Structure 1
Amino acid sequence: MSDLLDTFDKMPKIRQFDAFPKTQSIYTQRSSRGGLLTVVVSCLLCFLLWTEFSEYLYGERAYSFHVDDTVSSSMQINIDMTVAMQCHYLTIDVRDAVGDRLHVSEREFTKDGTTFEIGHAGRLDALPMPDLSVDKTISAAKRKSFLPSYSKRPQNKKFHKQPAFQKTAHVVQDGPACRIYGSMEVKRVSGNLHITTLGHGYGSFEHTAHELMNLSHVVHEFSFGPYFPLIAQPLDSSVEITKEHFTVFQYFTSVVPTLFIDSRGRRLKTHQYSVTDYSRNIEHGAGVPGIFIKYDIEPIVLTVRERSTTLVQFLVRLAGVVGGVWVCVGYAFRTLDRLGRVAKTVSHGGRTDDSPEGYAASYGYQRPSHIGGLTVDRRSTSSGWLNGGADTVEAMKQKWAGLGQGGAPKTHRKVDSVQQRIFSEEGRAW
């Protein structure tokens, strides 16, 4: 590793980009703790970089609420569900807070005989909620924006190319189940959508036999406002099963007008809702069996705005994350390492490895001896260096005596102490 760092240090084209002085790698100490910390910080930086990159690609959502100041007298309800009864025995009605009752005919909702299949549906409390981006939601809605009324009638030539609802996969004339699908306009007030059987709940000349009643159902799609297939709603793909003939299924929904705004400024107005479900079995004559969907309109508007960062902002944040984490971790590591060295010094009551003597001792040097004007280096035999001892001292004395008598030696070599070498190297580094 040291050889690799030395190779990079010798390259002038690389060193000229470094504006800060660095100590040569030979004078730095590496430890397993530092290597482990480098690996951990690198993994952390990879995670942070991926987070920043994901936010740059997909943006982030900002939610806000404000009072609904729009004036509207009607609202659209979209429904697509299958009930485990023949279509002939089912009736659909709407009651609102004004007191009006509307019987829904086949002009609004279509009934197709079919078989009762659960498919991929599940219970309401076990269904995951898909989370699509605002851009995908608006793009899918804009592709269907040429449909003026989002009608459900696939046989209508005006909407034959792209009907709002798919055709029934298995149409069975007078089948054991009934698929009910379509859209209708209702007053923009609280109301209740009823799906009941003939002769139970509303006056009818026909009475449904009790053994034929089974209100098990699968909700394929239920929404308010313009029909956009990619906007996930809580009741979508939910199922309720019962073996009793007299069962009441109740859904309490709270409708919130919603405005989607993507990063390009495109807008989409629709409705979202929350739902609470309740079901119970009743005795004959103690209530009306059926499927009841109660809806309340909230007086607020939810705005979902998608925000994205520019390339310059992304690069600045990227540099800030990398530099900030690396510098802060480096300072923290050096501080803890220095505290550890101080604690070690206090425990041993002597020399630290940061002092020149300690640094020289790690390389096998000891404090030099000064005899007159000469410096004698002592080298420990444990590091493989020779120890001159008394003979070296006597030789130095004779050499000094010769200099005093004018007899200069033929050659002269300046000998620097280890401490001077260390200081000179550090001085050149800084």
Structure 2
Amino acid sequence: MGRNGMFGSFQGFDAFGKTMEDVKIKTRTGALLTFISLSIILTSVMLEFIDYRRIHLEPSIIVDRSRGEKLVIDFDIEFPRVPCYLLSLDVMDISGEHQTEFEHQVTKTRMNKDGNVISKVQGSQLKGDVERANLNQDPNYCGSCYGAPPPESGCCNSCEEVRQAYGRKGWSFSDPEGIEQCVEEGWMDKMKEQNEEGCRIDGHIRVNKVIGNLHFSPGRSFQNNMMQMLELVPYLRDKNHHDFGHIVHKFRFGGDMTKAEELTVLPKEQRWRDKLGLRDPLQGMKAHTEVSNYMFQYFLKVVSTNFISLNGEEIPSHQYSVTQYERDLRTGNAPGKDAHGHMTSHGMMGVPGVFFNYEISPMKVIHTEERQSFAHFLTSTCAIVGGVLTVASLVDSFIFSSSKRLKKKSEDSFRGPSGKIL
């Protein structure tokens, strides 16, 4: 075998053929294409580097597998024409749990006609200032329930206990001036004093992570998702105008956290929400009516949303969509025509108030911070350099060969049939 036999055969695989320096042809067009190619390569590589350093948010959807969790509803709602003594807050869910008392979680603010603050009340119950009155009674005092079934204690020692006893009996509580306990508490005087006031209620409550509703209503608490009209007597018979027009300053859902966790997690959650442009759809919502016997309903679809940063820190949050529905209760549940001329009827009597009916989505949205790997950046850079140079070489080859053909045709046109230049 010759000296270069084996290596000579191997050289046949060389994909990078070389040319002698003295046979290379350099043109102005090639120089221009080289300059353009370098500019494109530098610009593209710089953009690729910026993209490599940029943090991307990658959304994904999974099934929410959490169990036994609690939700926190954070709210701040103003009722300009409902006094605080008439306003009740209740929470019910599909499991049958009914919350009516909230200790140190909710504040009611009395407001005058001009929207100025009169006073704030933070108590264990949200059924009115009358219920928190302290009576100077004899220790052995046992108030009458006036023929209604008494509570477990056997006595009705407050105006509210008499009201509840009347409710259990199905009687209308329409004459508090004839009730000793109500007279001693100054129940009617306080009603008259606050008749022209409004109320702003804010705070947070823990609820089960199931279908439920939170509602603001006049009078005593709801039972079986309904409220007897007898409980609305002070609201509907008042000579002053009351209605449940309202302004929602804040209404959002959050995870169940301790105070220490709230201090660290909530600011981070807000930064995430601002980054993604997430906004609570009910925030700033204004609803107006001139009708006292009027019901507002909001149907909310709550979706758990988690944010995962580059360092693996996970921040829980929630977002929701909402559909609004309003109903004038003056016609009861009798059939009537809607705005489109269709006959509609209601299966149950409504109740004046504001209802937030929430439903929990079985899906969870996860936003994950991601950054491109260095290998991806390196691969993209090589692709940019190789691609630009390859295209530039093809363009240069096409221009060079075209110019040669044109030059040859031009020379042939100056030669005669004998090949001599004319």
TM-score with structure 2 setting the length: 0.52
Q: Which residue of 2 aligns with 1:66?
A: 63
Residue type matched to 1:99 in 2? G
Report the equivalent of 2:89: 92
Task: Find the aligned partners of 2:280 and 2:111 in 1 and give their Cα distance.
Answer: 24
2:310 pairs with one of 263, 284, 287:
263
In structure 1, distance between residues paired with 2:122 and 2:46 = 49
Alignment of 1:15-414 (within 5 A): 23-26=25-28, 50=47, 53-54=50-51, 56-68=53-65, 70-72=66-68, 74-85=70-81, 86-105=83-102, 107-114=104-111, 176-198=197-219, 201=227, 204=231, 207-208=234-235, 209=238, 211-226=241-256, 228=266, 230=270, 231=273, 232-245=278-291, 246-283=293-330, 285-286=332-333, 287-311=350-374, 313-321=376-384, 323-324=386-387, 326=388, 330=392, 353-355=403-405, 358-359=406-407, 366=414, 378=421
* Structure 1 residues 258-312: Cα deviation after superposition (integer angstroms, max 9, x where no partner): 3322111111233333322223333265521221111122333333322112455
Q: 1:214 to 1:298 in 2, by over 3 A?
A: closer
CA-CA distance at 1:93 after TM superposition: 0.7
Contact 1:222–1:235 at 8 Å: present in 2 too?
no
Look up the equivalent residue of 1:88 and give its one-letter code: Y
After superposition, give the CA deviation of every residue in 1:129-172 in whole Å (9 maximum; x if it has no partner). Answer: xxxxxxxxxxxxxxxxxxxxxxxx999xxxxxxxxxxxxxxxxx
Between the aligned partners of 2:391 and 2:297, the Cα distance in structure 1 is 58
Contact 2:29–2:396 at 8 Å: present in 1 too?
no
Contact preservation (8 Å) 2:108, 2:122:
no
Q: CA deviation at 1:322?
A: 5.9
SS of the residue 1:248 aligns to = strand
The alpha-carbon deviation at position 206 of structure 1 amounts to 6.1
TM-score, normalised relative to structure 1: 0.51
8 Å CA contact retained: 1:260, 1:305: yes
Distance 2:29 2:67 in 1: 77
Decide whether the 8 Å contact of 1:60 with 1:307 is kept in 2.
yes
Distance 1:354 1:117 in 2: 90
Amino acid at match of 2:234: H
Q: Report the AA paired with residue 278 of structure 1.
A: Y
Deviations 1:318-360 (A, max 9, x none): 4434653x3576478679979xx9xxxxxxxxxx7432xx325
**1:9 aligned residue:** none
What is the alpha-carbon distance in structure 1 between the residues aligned to residue 96 and residue 89 of structure 2? 16
> Which of 1 and 2 has higher RCO (CA within 8 Å, sep 6+)?
2
Aligned CA distance change for structure 1 residues 154 and 53 (closer, same or farther; 3 Å): farther
Change (3 A) 1:185 1:24: same
C-alpha distance in structure 1 between counterparts of 2:219 and 2:299, whole Å: 24
2:44–2:384 contact (8 Å) kept in structure 1: no
The runs of 5 or more residues in structure 1 that have no matched partner are 1-18, 119-152, 156-172, 342-351, 379-388, 390-430
Conservation of the 8 A alpha-carbon contact between 1:223 and 1:272 = yes
On the 8 A contact 2:102/2:205 being kept in 1, the answer is no
Counterpart position of 1:411: none
* C-alpha distance 73-310 of structure 1, shift in aligned 2 (>3 A): closer
Q: 1:113 deviation in Å?
A: 3.3
Over aligned residues, Cα RMSD in angstroms? 4.8
Q: Deviations over 1:191-244 (max 9, x none)?
A: 111112237946648612372214232242322324636144433523133233
- Counterpart for residue 343 of structure 2: none
Q: Please state how far the C-alpha of 1:92 moved relative to its aligned partner.
A: 0.9
Contact 1:109 1:183 in 2 (8 A): yes
Question: What do the CA deviations read for 1:350-406 (whole angstroms, capped 9, x no partner)?
Answer: xx7432xx32566999569999xxxx9x5xxxxxxxxxx7xxxxxxxxxxxxxxxxx
CA spacing shift, 1:113–1:320, aligned 2, 3 Å: farther
Q: State how far apart, in whole Å, the 2-side matches of 1:46 and 1:29 are.
A: 18
